């Protein structure tokens, strides 16, 4: 019999003895009544930037979809497979979330790949390269300036978030509800190295640090 990695099993045992034991009533309620999160977070699948950890969220509080570089493909009802679009549709139409947050982070590997498109593909399919093609126009705009590599990386991580928020508005269900004041869209960027969270100003697009007290 093949077992899960021991680290996962040990973590599960700790979960059952700790958090699940303390919140078992909450879990039973969620199982019986279903979920009703108020917020959807579109985040990167990077193991260092888990939204539930960063926002100290309990079970049932966040509806999270994670992909490489927290991208939102533009609305494209073309019959293809669209995992992020499907999650967005479910969150907005079925769960009726009140807010959507696109959260990027520092040192994002996907953004690094977009800035270095000449790198050797990891596989013949080059799935990462094709996926990151969604931010290629922004990456090209940064290529000719005088930024250092680190500055360019951070700039594209934040610029990309603005692009993804704009892409959210290409979905009719999102745009209609936002215009009616029933849905709000947000951008955020998390610095892994020091834990800082920067929030996008909806008027200017600038990233600002919220007060901690």
- The full DSSP string for 95-133 is I--SEEEEEEETT-HHHHHHH-TTSPPSSTT-HHHHHHG
Average pLDDT over residues 146-175: 95
pLDDT on residue 118: 78
Residue 149 has pLDDT above 80, yes or no: yes
Domain co-membership, 22 together with 65: no
Other C-beta atoms closer than 10 Å to the C-beta of 111 total 30
pLDDT tier for residue 1 given thresholds of 50, 70 and 90? low
- Tally the domains of the chain: 2
User: Could you report the per-residue pLDDT of 34-91, keeping only the tens digit for each?
Assistant: 999 999 999 999 999 999 999 999 999 999 999 999 999 999 999 999 999 999 999 9
Average pLDDT over residues 89-95: 98
* Residue 119: band (very low, low, confident or very high) from pLDDT cuts 50, 70, 90: confident
In the sheet that holds 39-44, the strands lie side by side as 62-67, 39-44, 99-105, 184-190, 197-200, 207-208
Residue 213 lies inside a defined structural domain of this protein: no
Cα–Cα dist 9/42, whole Å: 27
CA distances, 213 to each of 6, 20, 210 (Å): 39, 29, 9
- Residues 13 and 42 placed together within one structural domain of the fold: no
Q: What is the pLDDT of residue 200?
A: 98
User: Does a structural domain hold residue 94?
Assistant: yes
For residue 156, give the nearest of 146, 169, 170, 143 by alpha carbon.
143
User: What is the spatial distance between Cα 173 and Cα 107, in angstroms, rounded to a whole number?
Assistant: 32
Global confidence as pTM = 0.95
Q: Do 44 and 127 share a domain, yes or no?
A: yes
- What is the reported pLDDT for 146? 80
Looking at the structure, do residues 58 and 89 belong to the same domain, yes or no? Answer: yes
Average pLDDT of 142-161? Answer: 90
Residues 107 and 66 in one domain: yes
**Quick one: pLDDT at residue 173?**
97
DSSP string of 46-74?
-TT--HHHHTT--TTSEEEEEETTS--PP
Residues 40 and 5 in one domain: no
pLDDT greater than 90 at residue 163: yes
């Amino acid at each position: 019999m093949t077992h899960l990695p021991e680290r996962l099993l040990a973590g599960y045992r700790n979960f059952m003895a700790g958090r699940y034991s303390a919140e078992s009533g909450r879990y039973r309620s969620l199982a019986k009544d279903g979920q009703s999160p108020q917020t959807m977070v579109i985040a990167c699948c990077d193991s260092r930037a888990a939204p539930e950890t960063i926002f100290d969220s309990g079970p049932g509080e966040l509806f999270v979809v994670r992909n490489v570089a927290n991208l939102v493909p533009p609305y494209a009802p073309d019959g293809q497979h669209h995992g992020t679009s499907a999650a967005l549709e479910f969150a907005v139409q079925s769960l009726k979330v009140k807010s959507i947050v696109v959260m990027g982070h520092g040192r994002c590997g996907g953004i690094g790949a977009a800035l270095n498109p000449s790198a050797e593909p990891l596989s013949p399919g080059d799935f990462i390269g094709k996926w990151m093609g969604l931010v290629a126009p922004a990456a090209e705009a940064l290529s000719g300036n005088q930024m250092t590599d680190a500055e360019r990386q951070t700039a594209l991580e934040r610029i990309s978030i603005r692009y993804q928020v704009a892409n959210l508005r290409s979905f009719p269900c999102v745009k209609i509800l936002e215009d009616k004041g029933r849905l709000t869209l947000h951008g955020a960027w998390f610095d892994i190295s020091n834990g800082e969270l920067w929030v996008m100003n909806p008027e200017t697009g600038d990233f600002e640090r919220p007060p901690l007290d």
